[in-house]
Amino acid sequence: MHTLGEGVLNWNKDGRVLTRDQKQCEICEAPKSAFPEMTIMRDVSIAKSEFKAGEKAITKLQDFQNDEVLFDYCRYPAVVDTIKDLIGVPTSNLTAMHTMLINKPPDTGSLTSRHPMHQDLHYFPFRPADFIACAWTAMEVINRANGCLVVVPGTHKGHLLPHGYPKWEGGVNKAYHGIQDYDTSTPRTYVEMEAGDTVFFHPLLIHGSGANRTAGFRKAISCHYANADLCKYIDIKGTTQEELSYEIADITRKKMQRAGIDADSAKTIELDYADIWRARARAVTGSRANL
């Protein structure tokens, strides 16, 4: 675990300091059409509630790679240096493949604020896995009460397992896939963190998070990096990832509609899964290389 300085929680924009709370507020108060490239998610248990705007309306913000304020996190020197130690060398070309800000809401009682135990590689159409790593930073104190990360140590040495939606009575958030037939008695470690603490982990590591049983939101920010010199896109047809790719394509079409493409046209556009990820990727150091 690495501890970042306070600078990671404050970003500079247009010559002024913009705190992460101000940036979040800017996104929360604007219509989704103002940020068409981002995937802005709401918890399934409050999606049809009175919360139409503000912090309570947004539980996860994905694909912020084109936002210069938020993307500064991905370029933070302490994070980048550690990632290079893990999946490359000082001269490696690093690409940010998946960016995410999590605003885990207070659970409504349905336990939908949980995230099922999963492996991030399930979502990625690029390999090798050993040259992909996540940096996940707590933006405030994170503990078991507000739903800290839960990990199964050593599972990064295993293989990708079949995933699907868990059969939870309260419902499951969109694209929250979990390992099928997961044994809940498996020993696990709870990753409690202070603000600025950062964990780095392999895409095969089995992990998830518990429900937020507090009255506040639990905030974290993360970036998945790939060594662009060594990683390449793969064909996922016929694999356990193929069904997921259709779901992600549907999400992408909705983003295209927010960007101004009419619904009928969006439905007719064929979307290659690798191309979807190419659009989400952004070079952090050097060039895009293979990705």
Per residue in 86-107, pLDDT tens?
999 999 999 999 999 999 989 8
Structural contact between residues 118 and 175, judged by C-beta atoms closer than 8 angstroms = no
Asked whether residue 264 carries a pLDDT value surpassing 90, the answer given is no
Residue type, 267: K
What is the C-alpha separation between 115 and 113, in angstroms, rounded? 7
| pTM of this structure | 0.87
Q: Of the segments 21-35, 159-173, 261-275, which one has the largest average pLDDT value?
A: 159-173
pLDDT greater than 60 at residue 57: yes
As a whole number of angstroms, the longest Cα–Cα distance in the chain is 51
Mean pLDDT over residues 109-136, rounded? 95
Paired tokens of 98: 């998946």
Average pLDDT over residues 211-215: 95
Lowest mean pLDDT among 57-66, 96-105, 146-155: 57-66
Question: If you average pLDDT over each of 37-41, 59-63, 261-265, which comes out highest?
Answer: 59-63
The CATH class, in words, for 2-285 is mainly beta
What's the rounded mean pLDDT across residues 166-188? 88
pLDDT of res. 112 = 83
Q: What is the pLDDT of residue 169?
A: 77
The region of weakest confidence among 47-56, 143-152, 163-172, 235-244 is: 47-56
Q: 1-45: per-residue pLDDT in tens?
A: 555 544 344 434 343 344 555 555 566 555 555 566 777 777 776
Q: What is the pLDDT of residue 18?
A: 43
Mean pLDDT score, 43-60: 63
Q: Three-state SS across the chain? A: CEECCHHHHEEEECCEEEEHHHHHHHHHHCCHHHCCCCEEECCCCCCCCCCCCCHHHCCEEECCCCCHHHHCCCCCHHHHHHHHHHHCCCCCCEEEEEEEEEEECCCCCCCCCCEEEECHHHHCCEECHHHEEEEEEECCCECCCCCCEEEECCHHHCCCCCEECCCCCCCCCCCCCEECCCCCCCCCEEECECCCEEEEECCCCEEEECCCCCCCCEEEEEEEEEECCCCEECCCCCCCCHHHHHHHHHHHHHHHHHCCCCHHHHHHCCCCHHHHHHHHCEEEECCCCCC
Lowest-confidence range among 110-114, 142-146, 182-186, 217-221? Answer: 110-114
Give the start-to-end residue ranges of the domains of the chain: 2-285
The confidence score (pLDDT) of residue 36 equals 64
Tell me which residue has tokens 């060398």: 89
Look at residue 8 in the predicted model and tell me its pLDDT: 41
Q: What is the mean pLDDT of the chain?
A: 86
Per-residue pLDDT, 38: 74
pLDDT cut 70: percent of the chain above it: 83
